[in-house]
């Protein structure tokens, strides 16, 4: 999932039929964006309207990311800013939710006194009670993690939506324990969501006019529904329960088959868990996005082992070969970490050579950031100097930019099916949409199309981030 962009997602103003108002600022990955929609749904039930202006709000929530230190520093700065606001408006309450809440527990509440309320990713159903505590003048906290919670019966309120594409969570938590990663500690054990409730949510979206859904999980290929409960308990289930279980390939097949008029995407895939069945399902359904986000983190087998990624460079390249043979027009993206502990120049060159071997369409690239409590932080010294990390990261970014330009250029002269999302930001006479490979396409409006339409566009030009073209049908 893309945790790279520290995105501040604006929320749309809603009707004023409520007696309270909440402003939610979301950082981090798509899962957090979707969680904010679940939180908005729970709070609407408590009489809170969602506002996009913190000055209008009597409750401010920061839905936070803990994956790198920089993300946390940004949130701390925002909290200082809101502390200033609180001085002028004593009634205003500020809550910390999401992964930083889980990681820091009561620290920002008790020691640093930056917030009034703390709620971890599995405790959002408890928000009504926590808000009552606040009303009574008490500080409120719930950071319990759950083995079952998937919020599967809560219809997300699409607060930051273009009305065309939406996220649908299918798993929560992660059991992989990559040694650099804080997510298993902040989001808990992996569990899957009931496929019936997934289908119902997509049906609702379709009825509201949505045209695209992205199935979300830290590791979607690991999806396994056997009646509820954590993935780790699957093996203990009776034989008949195990036989009836639904895996990711089956879920994807069901979703794509039931909603042929919608585009189906998914993220994130983990190389060690992606199955060939998933590729077969993608091949079978033309409405599944021709795009796989397949983080590899490092091209060096020695580093992959230290990261506890359970694949080798060779296995990764074999998987890519297989995918490209089966689906030649696939778009591939990655996540890479530069400067993991003990990384040498040779390891770094292995990463660059893997990139050269694959030539990814795009990627998300990070300097290693030590996270307290992770296995890497406990066992390995963060010994690659900051300057070296940045130099390697810059080399990786420069190479990716070259590959992105080349990959985008390869669309020129061909045709793409574009799902129109809305007017282009730069020019209101042009539409912006995405093709099946998820590349952004801009084309002049003809007067015959509207947001939500699928149109054929001949691609006439490309930069490293945008395709340009003309409607042909
Ligand atoms: N499976 C998750 C991964 C979440 S973290 C998903 O759905 O994407 C997203 C990315 O952040 C990871 O793939 C990794 O490249 C990067 N990342 C995670 N922990 C990091 C750390 N400690 N330092 C730098 N980058 C990190
Ligand atoms: Fe993190 Fe690895 Fe899971 S990157 S979210 S522990 S797959």
- Give me the average pLDDT of each 10-residue run along the chain (473 residues): 47 62 97 97 96 95 98 96 92 97 96 94 98 92 97 93 96 97 98 98 97 98 97 97 98 98 98 96 98 98 98 98 98 98 98 98 98 98 98 98 97 98 95 98 97 98 96 93
Domain 6-142, what architecture?
3-Layer(aba) Sandwich (3.40)
Q: What value, to the nearest 5°, has the Cα angle with vertex 29 and ends 378 and 108?
A: 60
Residues with CB under 6 A from ligand 2: 174, 176-178, 181, 183-184, 218-219, 270
What are residue 225's DSSP bridge partners?
Answer: 246
Whether residue 397 contacts residue 412, with contact meaning beta carbons closer than 8 Å, is answered with no
Q: Which of 335, 364, 368, 390 to mutate to test the pocket of ligand 1 (most atoms within 8 A of CB)?
A: 335
* 263-267 and 212-216 strand pairing: parallel
Among 1.20.140.10, 1.10.3720.10, 3.80.30.20, 3.40.50.300, name the CATH number for the domain at 165-409: 3.80.30.20
C-alpha 92, offset from chain centre: 30
Which residues, 6 or more positions from 315, have their beta carbon under 8 angstroms from its beta carbon? 271
Domain(s) of CATH 2.40.50.140: residues in the chain: 415-471
- pLDDT value, residue 11: 46
CA distances from 446 to 156, 414, 416, 471, 472 (A): 34, 20, 17, 8, 10
Statement: 415-471 belongs to CATH 1.50.10.20: no
CA distances from 443 to 210, 291, 395, 457 (A): 21, 22, 33, 8
Residues with CB under 6 A from ligand 1: 1, 3, 67-68, 180-181, 183, 218-219, 268, 295, 297, 335, 337, 366, 368-369, 371
SS3 of residue 422 by DSSP:
strand
Domain(s) of CATH 3.40.50.2300: residues in the chain: 6-142
Whether residue 425 contacts residue 433, with contact meaning beta carbons closer than 8 Å, is answered with no
Domain(s) of CATH 3.80.30.20: residues in the chain: 165-409
- pLDDT value, residue 137: 87
Whether residue 411 contacts residue 439, with contact meaning beta carbons closer than 8 Å, is answered with yes
CA distance 225 to 236: 14
Q: What is the dihedral of CA 201, 202, 205, 207, to 10 degrees?
A: -100
Distance 296 CA to ligand 1 centre (A): 10
Strand order in the sheet with 140-142: 48-50, 20-26, 59-64, 93-98, 117-119, 140-142
Distance 175 CA to ligand 1 centre (A): 14
- pLDDT value, residue 2: 63
Whether residue 180 contacts residue 376, with contact meaning beta carbons closer than 8 Å, is answered with yes
- pLDDT value, residue 12: 45
CA distance 63 to 98: 5
Distance 177 CA to ligand 2 centre (A): 6
Whether residue 414 contacts residue 459, with contact meaning beta carbons closer than 8 Å, is answered with yes
Q: What value, to the nearest 5°, has the Cα angle with vertex 456 and ends 424 and 287?
A: 100
> Which ligand 2 atom lies nearest to the CA of residue 295?
4
pTM for the model stands at 0.95
């Amino acid at each position: 999932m893309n945790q790279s962009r520290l995105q501040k997602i604006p929320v749309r103003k809603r009707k004023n039929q409520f007696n309270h108002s909440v402003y939610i600022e979301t950082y981090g990955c798509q899962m957090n964006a979707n969680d904010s929609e679940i939180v908005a749904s729970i709070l609407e039930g408590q009489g809170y309207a969602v506002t996009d202006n913190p000055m209008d709000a009597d409750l401010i929530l920061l839905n936070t990311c803990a994956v790198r230190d920089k993300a946390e520093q940004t949130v701390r700065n925002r909290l200082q800013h809101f502390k200033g606001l609180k001085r002028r408006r004593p009634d205003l309450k500020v809550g910390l939710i999401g992964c930083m809440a889980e990681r820091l527990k009561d620290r920002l509440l008790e020691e640093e006194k930056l917030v009034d309320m703390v709620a971890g990713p599995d405790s959002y159903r408890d928000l009504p009670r926590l808000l009552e505590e606040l009303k009574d003048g008490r500080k409120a906290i719930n950071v319990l993690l759950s083995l079952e919670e998937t919020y599967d019966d809560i219809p997300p309120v699409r607060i930051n939506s273009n009305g065309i594409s939406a996220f649908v969570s299918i798993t929560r938590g992660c059991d992989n324990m990559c040694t650099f990663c804080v997510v298993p500690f902040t989001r808990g054990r992996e569990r899957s969501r009931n496929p019936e409730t997934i289908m119902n949510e997509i049906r609702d979206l379709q009825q509201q006019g949505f045209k695209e859904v992205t199935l979300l999980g830290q590791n979607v290929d690991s999806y396994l529904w056997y009646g509820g409960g954590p993935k780790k308990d699957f093996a203990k289930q009776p034989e008949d329960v195990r036989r009836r279980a639904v895996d990711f390939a089956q879920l994807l097949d069901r979703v794509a088959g039931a909603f042929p008029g919608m585009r189906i995407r998914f993220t994130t895939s983990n190389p060690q868990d992606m199955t060939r069945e998933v590729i077969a399902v993608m091949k079978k359904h033309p409405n599944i996005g021709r795009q796989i986000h397949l983080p590899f983190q490092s091209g060096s087998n020695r580093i992959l082992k230290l990261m506890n990624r359970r694949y080798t460079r060779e296995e990764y390249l074999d998987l890519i070969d297989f995918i490209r043979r089966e689906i030649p027009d696939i778009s591939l993206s990655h996540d890479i970490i530069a400067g993991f502990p003990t990384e040498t120049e040779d390891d770094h060159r292995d990463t660059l050579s893997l990139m050269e071997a694959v030539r990814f369409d795009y990627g998300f690239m990070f300097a290693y950031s030590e996270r307290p409590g992770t296995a890497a932080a406990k066992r390995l010294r963060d010994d690659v100097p900051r300057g070296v990390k940045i130099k390697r990261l810059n080399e990786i970014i420069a190479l990716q930019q070259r590959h992105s330009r080349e990959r985008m250029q390869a669309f020129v002269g061909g045709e793409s099916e574009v799902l129109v999302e809305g007017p282009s930001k730069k020019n209101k006479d042009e539409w912006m949409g995405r093709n099946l490979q998820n590349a952004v396409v801009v084309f002049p409006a003809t007067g015959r199309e509207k947001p939500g339409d699928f149109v054929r566009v001949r691609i006439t030009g490309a930069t490293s981030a945008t395709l340009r073209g003309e409607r042909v049908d």
